[in-house]
């Protein structure tokens, strides 16, 4: 099969990162079986990795190297990062809970917990050390513009190189949840202030496609394959009567769902139009049922179990699509 640039894109969504992590775990097992290679990893079958917020955490887990320059973490370990450490990441003191009023007048969480997890998992690993090219969106407050952490740029210039733990702190600085993140390059020659890129690219797939075209202007959609993973979508059942008298407090909760859904759906709509061959573009996501409310920071056991089941639902319901895509990945790699 003709070589294609293979792109993996993962949405933002906080603790809901469990959902795409489950899907990737299944995909990796299929790749091992189809390739007859027990050592096969996700990193071997994609050329560009893009992730927003929690998607960036997963990308970092897939691409951080061990001493043999192979992935340091398995997909199982990435799943466990969320399940075992959710309470640490989303940990708030009583004082902070009182001050924040659920994120309305202050951030919900102090950053110490999430920073400790990033330090534990990624330590001194730098952006330039990652095993494959990356595209991780953030928003730079001081300049009022979008910014992307790129492994390929970090390898060329130290002015674009950051510690992985620091850039992840920036990539996950979701407004109302965590404070903005001010970080320095590894050489301490530049300092910048960022927030979560979900404000403009909660689904970074379209940005990833643009990155592919930027580096390969002679190539087109037919020369690439993309797997885009969502973190679960909450359908909002609203109408004019219900929302007629809503103020900031009501829209604060429901509005975040609508904005996230809108950003993700427009990327999916545009990429459906861009890709002329459906097997070359696969979007995997799932709807929350009416018994569960989508939450970025709910770390209760029953909710985590539901997220695991949501990932398994995607695997079961889209089994044929995943199998066809996996077979193409293996054929291209051979």
Question: Which of the four pLDDT bands, split at 50, 70 and 90, describes residue 239?
Answer: confident
DSSP lists the bridge partners of residue 182 as 193
Q: Which residues contact 130 (CB under 8 A, 6 or more apart)?
A: 60, 63, 64, 65, 151, 164
Integer Cα distance of 147 and 201 in angstroms: 11
When mean pLDDT is compared across 93-97, 203-207, 325-329, the lowest value belongs to 93-97
Provide Rg for the chain, Cα atoms. Answer: 19
When mean pLDDT is compared across 15-24, 54-63, 152-161, 293-302, the lowest value belongs to 293-302
Coil, strand or helix at 5: strand
Which domains are delineated in the chain? 5-333 (3.40.1090.10)
Integer Cα distance of 274 and 252 in angstroms: 33
Nearest in space to 325 (alpha carbons), one of 264, 284, 270, 267: 284
- Whether 100 shows a pLDDT value over 50: the answer reads no
Integer Cα distance of 47 and 272 in angstroms: 20
Question: Which of the four pLDDT bands, split at 50, 70 and 90, describes residue 163?
Answer: very high
DSSP lists the bridge partners of residue 194 as 140, 181
pLDDT digits (tens, 9 = 90+) for 26-43: 999 999 999 999 999 999
DSSP string, 247-269: -HHHHHHHHHHHHHHHHHHHHHH
Q: Are 281 and 223 in contact, with CB atoms under 8 Å apart?
A: no
pLDDT digits (tens, 9 = 90+) for 55-80: 999 999 999 999 999 999 999 999 99
Q: Identify the pLDDT of residue 237.
A: 76
Question: Which of the four pLDDT bands, split at 50, 70 and 90, describes residue 1?
Answer: low
Averaged pLDDT, 108-128: 97
What is the pLDDT of the chain when averaged over all its residues?
92
Coil, strand or helix at 71: strand
Share of the chain above pLDDT 90, in %: 75
Q: Identify the pLDDT of residue 2.
A: 64
Averaged pLDDT, 171-188: 95
pTM: 0.94
Q: Which long-range contacts (CB under 8 A, 24 or more apart) does 305-308 make?
A: 307/15, 307/16, 307/18, 307/19, 307/22, 307/232, 308/18, 308/22, 308/79
Averaged pLDDT, 125-137: 99
Q: Are 211 and 187 in contact, with CB atoms under 8 Å apart?
A: no
Question: Which of the four pLDDT bands, split at 50, 70 and 90, describes residue 276?
Answer: confident
Share of the chain above pLDDT 70, in %: 93
Q: Are 209 and 268 in contact, with CB atoms under 8 Å apart?
A: no
Q: Identify the pLDDT of residue 92.
A: 61
Question: Which of the four pLDDT bands, split at 50, 70 and 90, describes residue 234?
Answer: confident
Question: Which of the four pLDDT bands, split at 50, 70 and 90, describes residue 277?
Answer: low
Give the dihedral of Cα atoms 32, 312, 63, 78; nearest 10 deg. Answer: -120
């Amino acid at each position: 099969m003709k070589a294609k640039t293979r792109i993996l894109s993962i949405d933002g969504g906080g603790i809901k990162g469990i959902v795409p992590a489950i899907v990737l775990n299944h995909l990796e097992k299929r790749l091992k079986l189809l390739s007859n290679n027990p050592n096969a990893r996700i990193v071997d079958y994609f050329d560009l990795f893009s992730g927003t917020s929690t998607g960036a955490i997963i990308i970092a887990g897939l691409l951080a190297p061990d001493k043999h320059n192979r992935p340091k973490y398995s997909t199982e370990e990435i799943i466990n990062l969320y399940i075992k450490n959710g309470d640490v990441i989303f940990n708030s003191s009583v004082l902070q809970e009182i001050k924040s009023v659920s994120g309305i007048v202050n951030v919900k969480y102090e950053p110490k917990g999430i920073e400790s997890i990033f330090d534990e998992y990624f330590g001194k690993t730098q952006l330039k050390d990652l095993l494959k090219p990356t595209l991780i969106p953030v928003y730079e407050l001081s300049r009022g513009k979008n910014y992307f952490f790129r492994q390929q740029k970090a390898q060329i210039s130290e002015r674009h190189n950051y510690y992985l733990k620091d850039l992840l702190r920036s990539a996950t600085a979701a407004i109302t949840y965590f404070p903005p993140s001010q970080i320095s390059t590894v050489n301490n020659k530049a300092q910048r202030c960022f927030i979560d890129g979900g404000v403009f690219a909660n689904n970074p797939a379209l940005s990833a496609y643009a990155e592919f075209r930027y580096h390969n202007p002679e190539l087109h959609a037919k020369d690439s394959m993309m797997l885009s993973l969502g973190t679960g979508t909450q359908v909002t059942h609203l109408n004019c009567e219900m929302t007629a008298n809503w103020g900031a407090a009501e829209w604060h909760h429901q509005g975040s769902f609508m904005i996230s859904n809108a950003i993700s759906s427009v990327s999916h709509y545009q990429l459906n139009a861009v890709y002329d061959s459906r097997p070359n573009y696969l979007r995997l996501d799932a709807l929350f049922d009416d018994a569960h409310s989508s939450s970025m920071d709910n770390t209760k056991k029953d909710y985590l179990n539901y997220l695991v089941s949501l990932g398994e639902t995607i695997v079961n319901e889209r089994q044929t699509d995943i199998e066809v895509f996996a077979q193409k990945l293996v054929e291209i790699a051979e």
